DNA sequence: GTCTATAATTAGATAGAC
DNA sequence: GTCTATCTAATTATAGAC
């Protein structure tokens, strides 16, 4: 009992958790920017001001680091939650706004990491698909309840994927530089149309 | 003049162009499958039944091989051309059908190579954007001629990008396994709506 | 034109001192 | 917990024989 314990929990505090955190943040940034294959453990360590060996000490392997870096930052699950409260009427606009607002703030962008990596790295391809399936697709399908729900949700997923690609990866103008409100204006009705518009046949 | 010259041109024939061609095909397949970073020159050489050194002999560097592998296979430019003949009425459906039919045949899929690589490799990111800009965006904007043409075409690009991602990269069902006709049914109206539907405001 | 051998570099991972 | 040193393996790339 020489100092106050800021964590409020018993045991050691201010341990290597700090380095671990810095490494994690660096890993998130680099994986997001260069994907899995394009990011080296050495680069992560350098960015974090730590030693490469530390990375392996904490996360065992590059894969482990990748998995840990993809843990959803707090706030993302609740953001997803906010999409689903309020029913189906404005869900298109809400979905676009939530998506873009969260992906625009650089810290909460594991999806960008994933999409960047999904093209060259099988593991992240699975992670991406699983996350989308579990958190978005499945919930929307049950929410719709119609026979063509699967197709409708797939169409919406294409909107989301395309928008994310255009704004964050391929950077197609004017999508990349547009304001959040513009994007909601453009894509909200489109997304809404996918879910509650005229039946897409078959 | 010991043998007939199948190429019909003077000079040597049946030279290293055969190896070059095999290497090029192998490179296209592997770049498409694993992206730039995930493809090794050795793997390309092995796939082509050639020596790694040959690859460097013909293409100088891995970058050079990549650039050469992205040369549009014959038929793709004319396919793009066919989208634009016939006016604006059915252009959505024509665009979706042409896109999917060409990308489904594995040999004519440099776009898949590009999108797979665009996420981790800056060079391919530029190649992808330039190609889309020159061959699709610019022509569509002039074809539309309206003030909001840029936005409309951007919306269409998102459809194309999202559809390609969902079918070929992330493999979202039922998009990935759908027939060409289904995709035209689902995305044709959506694409048409982007170009000639109600104004997207602003 | 084709291949063998190998140089040069880089990345992932481990051992062990402090 | 942290760092230095190092190992091993893979990769890009070159030199040179045939």
Lowest mean pLDDT among A72-86, A174-188, B160-174, B181-195: A72-86
- pLDDT at residue number A42: 96
pLDDT tens per residue across span B50-85: 999 999 999 999 989 988 888 777 677 788 889 998
Q: What mean pLDDT, rounded, does chain B reach?
A: 83
Whether residue B6 is predicted with pLDDT greater than 70 in this model: the reply is: no
- pLDDT at residue number B108: 60
Nucleotides on strand C lying under 7 Å from protein C-beta = 1-5, 10-16
Average pLDDT over residues B10-36: 77
Residue A94 CB neighbour total at 10 angstroms: 20
Q: Is the Cβ–Cβ distance between B192 and B92 less than 8 Å? A: yes
- pLDDT at residue number A15: 58
Residue A61 CB neighbour total at 10 angstroms: 11
- pLDDT at residue number B70: 81
With an 8 Å Cβ cutoff, is A45 touching chain B? Answer: no
Q: Which string of DSSP letters, residue by residue, matches chain B?
A: --S--TT-SSS--SSTHHHHHHHHHHHHHHHHHHTTTT--HHHHHHHHTS-HHHHHHHHSSHHHHHHHHTSPPTTHHHHHHHHHTT-STTHHHHHHHHHHHHHHSGGG-HHHHHHHHHTT-HHHHHHHHHHHIIIIIHHHHHHH-STTHHHHHHHHHHHHHHHHIIIIIS--TTTTT--HHHHHHHHHHHHHHHHHSS----
Q: Which of A200, A110, A122, A94 is nearest to A164 (CA)?
A: A110
Distance from CA of A119 to the nearest CA of B (A): 5
pLDDT tens per residue across span A13-41: 445 678 899 999 999 999 988 888 889 99
Q: Is the Cβ–Cβ distance between B110 and B28 less than 8 Å? A: yes
Give which of A31, A170, A173, A174 to mutate to test B binding, by max B Cβ within 10 Å: A170
Whether residue A68 is predicted with pLDDT greater than 50 in this model: the reply is: yes
Domain definitions of chain A by residue range: 17-69, 76-196
Q: Which of B110, B102, B129 is nearest to B32 (CA)?
A: B110
What's the rounded Cα separation, in Å, for the pair B38 and B34? Answer: 5
Average pLDDT over residues A114-134: 76
A86: Cβ contacts below 8 Å, ≥ 6 apart: A94
Does A191 or B104 have the greater pLDDT score?
A191
Residues of chain B with Cβ-Cβ distance to A116 below 8 Å are 119-120
CATH class of A76-196: mainly alpha
pLDDT tens per residue across span A169-188: 888 889 999 999 999 999 99
At B191, is the pLDDT very low, low, confident or very high (cuts 50, 70, 90)?
very high
Residues of chain B with Cβ-Cβ distance to A171 below 8 Å are 125, 129
Residues of chain A with Cβ-Cβ distance to B35 below 8 Å are 37, 119-120
Does A56 or B19 have the greater pLDDT score?
A56
What's the rounded Cα separation, in Å, for the pair B182 and B104? Answer: 14
Whether residue B1 is predicted with pLDDT greater than 70 in this model: the reply is: no
pLDDT tens per residue across span A137-158: 899 999 999 999 999 999 999 9
Distance from CA of B82 to the nearest CA of A (A): 24
Does B83 or A126 have the greater pLDDT score?
B83
Whether residue B189 is predicted with pLDDT greater than 50 in this model: the reply is: yes
- pLDDT at residue number B44: 95
Average pLDDT over residues B136-159: 93
Lowest mean pLDDT among A51-65, A118-132, B50-64, B95-109: A118-132
- pLDDT at residue number A106: 62
Average pLDDT over residues A106-120: 71
Pick A34's closest partner by Cβ from B120, B128, B182. Answer: B120
At B8, is the pLDDT very low, low, confident or very high (cuts 50, 70, 90)?
very low
- pLDDT at residue number A112: 73
Pick B115's closest partner by Cβ from A119, A121, A157. Answer: A119
Whether residue B5 is predicted with pLDDT greater than 60 in this model: the reply is: no
> What kind and span of H or E run contains A33?
helix A17-34
What's the rounded Cα separation, in Å, for the pair A190 and A166? Answer: 16
The CATH homologous superfamily to which domain B17-69 belongs is Homeodomain-like (1.10.10.60)
């Amino acid at each position: 009992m020489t100092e106050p314990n800021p964590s409020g929990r018993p045991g050691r505090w201010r341990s290597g958790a700090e380095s671990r955190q810095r490494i994690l943040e660096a890993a998130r940034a680099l994986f997001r920017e260069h994907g899995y294959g394009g990011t080296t453990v050495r680069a992560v360590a350098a960015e974090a001001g730590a030693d490469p060996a530390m990375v392996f000490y904490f996360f065992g392997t590059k894969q482990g680091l990748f998995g840990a870096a993809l843990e959803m930052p707090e706030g993302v699950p609740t953001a997803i939650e906010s999409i689903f409260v309020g029913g189906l009427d404005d869900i298109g606009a809400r979905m676009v706004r939530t998506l873009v607002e969260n992906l625009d703030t650089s810290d909460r962008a594991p999806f960008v990491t994933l999409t960047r990596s999904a093209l060259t790295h099988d593991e992240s391809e699975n992670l991406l698909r699983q996350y989308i399936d579990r958190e978005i697709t499945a919930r929307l399908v049950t929410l719709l309840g119609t026979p063509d729900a699967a197709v409708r949700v797939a169409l919406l997923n294409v909107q989301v994927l395309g928008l994310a690609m255009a704004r964050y990866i391929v950077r197609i103008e004017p999508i990349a530089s547009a304001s959040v409100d513009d994007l909601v204006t453009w894509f909200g009705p489109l997304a809404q149309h996918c879910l509650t518009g005229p039946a897409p046949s078959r």
